[in-house]
Amino acid sequence: MNAAGRRLVAELAGTGLLVAVVVGSGIAAARLTADGALRLLVSAVVTALGLAVLILVFAPASGAHFNPVVTAADWVLARRTPARYAPGLAVAVMGCQVAGAVGGAALADAMFAVPVLAASRTRRGGGPVLLGEAVATAGLLLLIVTLARTGRTQHAAWSVGAWIGAAYWFTSSTSFANPAVTIGRTLTPTYAGIAPASAPAFIAAEILGGGLGVLLAVAVHPARQDRVSDAEPARLAG
Amino acid sequence: MNAAGRRLVAELAGTGLLVAVVVGSGIAAARLTADGALRLLVSAVVTALGLAVLILVFAPASGAHFNPVVTAADWVLARRTPARYAPGLAVAVMGCQVAGAVGGAALADAMFAVPVLAASRTRRGGGPVLLGEAVATAGLLLLIVTLARTGRTQHAAWSVGAWIGAAYWFTSSTSFANPAVTIGRTLTPTYAGIAPASAPAFIAAEILGGGLGVLLAVAVHPARQDRVSDAEPARLAG
Amino acid sequence: MNAAGRRLVAELAGTGLLVAVVVGSGIAAARLTADGALRLLVSAVVTALGLAVLILVFAPASGAHFNPVVTAADWVLARRTPARYAPGLAVAVMGCQVAGAVGGAALADAMFAVPVLAASRTRRGGGPVLLGEAVATAGLLLLIVTLARTGRTQHAAWSVGAWIGAAYWFTSSTSFANPAVTIGRTLTPTYAGIAPASAPAFIAAEILGGGLGVLLAVAVHPARQDRVSDAEPARLAG
Amino acid sequence: MNAAGRRLVAELAGTGLLVAVVVGSGIAAARLTADGALRLLVSAVVTALGLAVLILVFAPASGAHFNPVVTAADWVLARRTPARYAPGLAVAVMGCQVAGAVGGAALADAMFAVPVLAASRTRRGGGPVLLGEAVATAGLLLLIVTLARTGRTQHAAWSVGAWIGAAYWFTSSTSFANPAVTIGRTLTPTYAGIAPASAPAFIAAEILGGGLGVLLAVAVHPARQDRVSDAEPARLAG
């Protein structure tokens, strides 16, 4: 398998396992307690740990984006550097992320004997919630782009996990912050699900918030190539 | 944007996001459970994770103080070193911290559809609580100044988060430990709020405790310039 | 004691303490709360922390496998390298892991005044649960083999702990992911136990899943000897 | 202040703050919830975080022992090395640890408006509990001595915190694992207290377990001076 093939496999498997972590832990938590805070605490802690591990595993092969907003930012920021790549590759990566997310939701449902690929009926939305979703994604992109521009991507795994775990709580949307994961979560009739009709507004908020996060990161941290560590690939890890 | 401008933006955005994390997670926790310990556990864990990430993000641009007591200590300790800076800059940094904190409280309230910039009615205070607040802040400054003086600021992000998370519990004040954050929290009628009338005594305890923490750090760790790592800016990270 | 002897002692003691952590925390959690989610959260957090520490402690002496699937993968992957070793040593290591696991279960039961070496009556199994067990073990081997092949075994301790802690929740089997630990857990009549009749299918799922994890790791990360760090032993840590 | 003076101050302040963390978080947890598992989970998490931070803070000045068993092991293991020191200094360190522990219990009680220096009435003991206490302390010393002998004391802070946090749960004694902390905890009439009459057996179990832990560490990890990192002081951190 060549490098592009490995990258696609890594994004497919990584995003799939990430959604399996999110959906599976939600099912287990909802079965084991009626306390809403304990359910969300479990989801947040488990997602933070699982995401951190998956970034560690797949970062060398693909940068461990698992997220179309991250891939889009990566492609844009890499355009004028030696790390640039074809737009077709970016699109293929995003396709693998979405396919992986759908597969991961199905895997989680299968593990817990829940009907596979059934649509969620959990409506989510409204102005405050979409504001929360934008804030969560802005923070995520701010973090990832900052680490890349300051040559500290070795911190990506644990800090990205920590940010998402925190944003499950401090934003009102519980921080999906990822269009591929959002699509995958439309296809599970469980705790972590989101009704398909609610997804487009979530995705729009994620794109908008992500763009703002990139702008803030670029404003605060002018690029300094010399600070890019060579212990990690030049593309974004996260 | 020049370095001073980036520093001010970083302190504004960082303190704002910190208060959004504190206030937002408090609102979510109070809505989802009636168990007081679970509410505070969520607040502590989410604040610890969020604060650690924000320090990682903003440390290269501003030292990630987010706290007037930290900035004051930094200014005093930097006076006779090549890293000294004008008192006006320190004051501007503190102003951005306070403005960011107010904005962050408003952002959290907006995300959760709570009236924005309404005053808190939660009275906090009394001798034991103020003692707790002084202890929390003393420990924070002891930690930050020690890491700076021993050339180990690479530990600042996770350890400052861990300290504040622990201090939410082991002090009776739940560890505000930050005058800017205290002011921001006067302007939210939610779980994390503090009545404006209670704020001055809290801030006084923070200043007193912070001073004691600096003195202890200086006594135990005589300055050794040669141990300052050049992987981080010379000013305090925290 | 020579290196092989130290390796066997390390695997015996490490696997024993690991099972003591798993079984002991389960007993304490089941005694202290009736909430099923809180019980599993405690088990997951305590296992993650304890496992990470035990890997740190025993990695220099034995690679800290604590798991026959990991030892089998290590032996196979090391065959054609300078780190190869006799199959008899691998078998001895696995024997020590099983003996340690049984001893660890007894130690935990003794600490909590529970009858020692009594069989569990907790039946676990069924297709979805066995799928979960395979997924948990696949992820574990994917992680460990990837870290070894990319020269980043310094991340093994915390990330292996984090993966197992997450997999307690997002898989339906609560992630035993280890044949030796599974055998040890047949001999405790407590929260973490598994009926002896349920163990063979669990172990089969672990072997199958582990094999898939190794294949995925090898496909995504072609071996690069030059990236193997010499700060850690060449064999797998985990 | 000379190096010995700084060491004594560090051990006094560090042990004091450690006991304040343990006692204070116990008071807060017991006030905020009736769920026994949630109380112990809070204590474990807060102690793990607080202990890790205190080790980071005081390790450069004193090795951050905070524990007479650790100091005794350090003194014995350092005897025939260039880092050896007078027995009188070791005794003075232990005295400061005990004094700090008593002060820390009083500080926590004062912060929470509880009578200061009142004796605990919580009886703890019995064979299984004392076995648990010995196991907890054995693991602690195994960890600390192993890190020192393998030149990896940079891991001490977080791993010692993690071990104690885990041992709160998987041992039946809730892991005091420290004679100074045990003495301090006799003087608080709160959740973390232990009746003075129960302390001697606890301390005996700690000394016995600690000795076993040292022996295991020495057996598994023969000393290799060349692996001692010079990024940390040669004495034990923990």
In a domain, B237, yes or no: no
- Which pLDDT does position D90 carry in this prediction? 98
CA count, 13 A, side-chain hemisphere, B7: 19
On the question of pLDDT at C238 being above 50, the answer is: no
- Number of residues that make up chain A: 238
A19: closest CA of chain C, how far (Å):
10
Subunits adjacent to chain B (3 or more Cβ pairs under 8 Å): A, D
On the question of pLDDT at D226 being above 80, the answer is: no
Tokens of D20: 């304040």
On the question of pLDDT at C145 being above 90, the answer is: yes
What value does the mean pLDDT take over residues A202-220?
97
Give how far the C-alpha of residue B217 lies from the chain's centroid of Cα atoms, to the nearest Å.
18
A68: closest CA of chain B, how far (Å):
22
Q: Which residue of A has its CA nearest to C140?
A: A53
Q: Summarize pLDDT for B32-73 with one digit per residue, the tens.
A: 999 999 999 999 999 999 999 999 999 999 999 999 999 999
Determine the residue type at C198: S
Tokens of C64: 């800290």
Tokens of D134: 């010995």
Does C237 or B7 have the greater pLDDT score?
A: B7
Tokens of A195: 């009704």
Residues 6+ apart with CB under 8 A from D70: D140, D141, D144, D210, D236, D238
Contacts of D126 in chain C (CB under 8 A): 113
On the question of pLDDT at A224 being above 90, the answer is: no
Say which of D21, D39, D41 has its CB closest to residue B166: D21
Question: D66 lies in which domain range?
Answer: 3-227
Nearest to D106 by CA among D181, D179, D23: D23
Alpha-helical runs (H) found in B33-155: 36-62, 68-78, 87-111, 127-149
Q: Identify the residue among A8, A39, A57, A153 best suited for mutation to test binding to C, counting C beta carbons within 10 A and taking the highest.
A: A57
Q: Summarize pLDDT for D123-143 with one digit per residue, the tens.
A: 999 999 999 999 999 999 999
In a domain, C45, yes or no: yes
- Which pLDDT does position B230 carry in this prediction? 39
Q: Identify the residue among C40, C57, C109, C158 best suited for mutation to test binding to D, counting D beta carbons within 10 A and taking the highest.
A: C57
Contacts of A49 in chain C (CB under 8 A): 48, 162-163, 165-166
What value does the mean pLDDT take over residues C59-65?
97
Nearest to B136 by CA among B171, B179, B161, B169: B171
User: Could you tell me the sign of the dihedral formed by the alpha carbons of C15, C18, C23, C27, in that order?
Assistant: positive
C191 shares contact with chain A (CB less than 8 Å): no
Chain C, residues 126-145, CB within 8 A of chain A, namely: 126, 128-129, 131-132, 135, 139, 142-143
Q: Summarize pLDDT for D51-86 with one digit per residue, the tens.
A: 999 999 999 999 999 999 999 999 999 998 999 999
On the question of pLDDT at B130 being above 60, the answer is: yes
Is residue A61 within 8 A of residue A218, CB to CB? The reply is no
Return the minimum-mean-pLDDT range out of A30-39, A216-225, B154-163, D116-125.
A216-225
User: Could you tell me the sign of the dihedral formed by the alpha carbons of D167, D168, D170, D173, in that order?
Assistant: positive
Nearest to D38 by CA among D23, D48, D50, D25: D25
- Cα separation values, C184 from A95, C64, C168, Å: 44, 17, 17
CATH number at residue A114: 1.20.1080.10
In a domain, D236, yes or no: no
Tokens of B158: 């996770």
B148 shares contact with chain A (CB less than 8 Å): no
Determine the residue type at D128: P
Determine the residue type at A116: V
| Neighbour-count burial for D131-157, b at 16+ CB within 10 Å, e otherwise | bbbbbbbbbbbbbbbbbbbbbbbbbbb
> What pLDDT band is residue A233 in, cutting at 50, 70 and 90?
very low
On the question of pLDDT at D222 being above 60, the answer is: yes
Residues 6+ apart with CB under 8 A from C204: C130
Rounded Cα gap, residues B177 and A89, in angstroms: 48
In a domain, A196, yes or no: yes
Contacts of B36 in chain D (CB under 8 A): 31-33
Whether residues B146 and D45 touch (CB distance < 8 A) is answered with: no
> What pLDDT band is residue D231 in, cutting at 50, 70 and 90?
very low
Say which of C135, C143, C221 has its CB closest to residue A111: C135
In a domain, D232, yes or no: no
Give the predicted TM-score (pTM) of the model. 0.95
> What pLDDT band is residue A3 in, cutting at 50, 70 and 90?
very high
- Which pLDDT does position B223 carry in this prediction? 67
A155: closest CA of chain C, how far (Å):
12
The percent of residues above 70 in pLDDT, for chain D, comes to: 93
In a domain, A23, yes or no: yes
Rounded Cα gap, residues D139 and B129, in angstroms: 36
Rounded Cα gap, residues A1 and C220, in angstroms: 8
- Number of residues that make up chain C: 238
Q: Summarize pLDDT for B193-238 with one digit per residue, the tens.
A: 999 999 999 999 999 999 999 999 999 998 654 444 433 333 444 3
Q: Summarize pLDDT for A30-55 with one digit per residue, the tens.
A: 999 999 999 999 999 999 999 999 99
B156: closest CA of chain A, how far (Å):
13
Rounded Cα gap, residues A223 and C11, in angstroms: 48
Is residue B18 within 8 A of residue B54, CB to CB? The reply is yes
Contacts of D177 in chain C (CB under 8 A): none
Total tally of structural domains belonging to chain C = 1
A38 shares contact with chain C (CB less than 8 Å): yes
Rounded Cα gap, residues A137 and C151, in angstroms: 32
> What pLDDT band is residue A91 in, cutting at 50, 70 and 90?
very high
A164: closest CA of chain B, how far (Å):
9
Subunits adjacent to chain A (3 or more Cβ pairs under 8 Å): B, C
Alpha-helical runs (H) found in chain A: 3-32, 36-62, 68-78, 87-111, 127-149, 156-170, 179-185, 199-220
In a domain, D61, yes or no: yes
Whether residues D112 and B172 touch (CB distance < 8 A) is answered with: yes
- Which pLDDT does position C222 carry in this prediction? 83
B213 shares contact with chain D (CB less than 8 Å): no
Fill in the DSSP letter of residue D126: S
Nearest to B81 by CA among B207, B238, B235, B203: B235
In a domain, B77, yes or no: yes
Whether residues D159 and C108 touch (CB distance < 8 A) is answered with: no
Whether residues C166 and A46 touch (CB distance < 8 A) is answered with: yes
Contacts of B169 in chain D (CB under 8 A): 24-25, 28-29, 42, 46
Rounded Cα gap, residues A143 and A128, in angstroms: 23
- Which pLDDT does position D224 carry in this prediction? 59
Rounded Cα gap, residues C126 and C122, in angstroms: 13
Rounded Cα gap, residues C238 and C146, in angstroms: 11
C46 shares contact with chain D (CB less than 8 Å): yes
Subunits adjacent to chain D (3 or more Cβ pairs under 8 Å): B, C
**ipTM rounded to 2 decimals:** 0.94
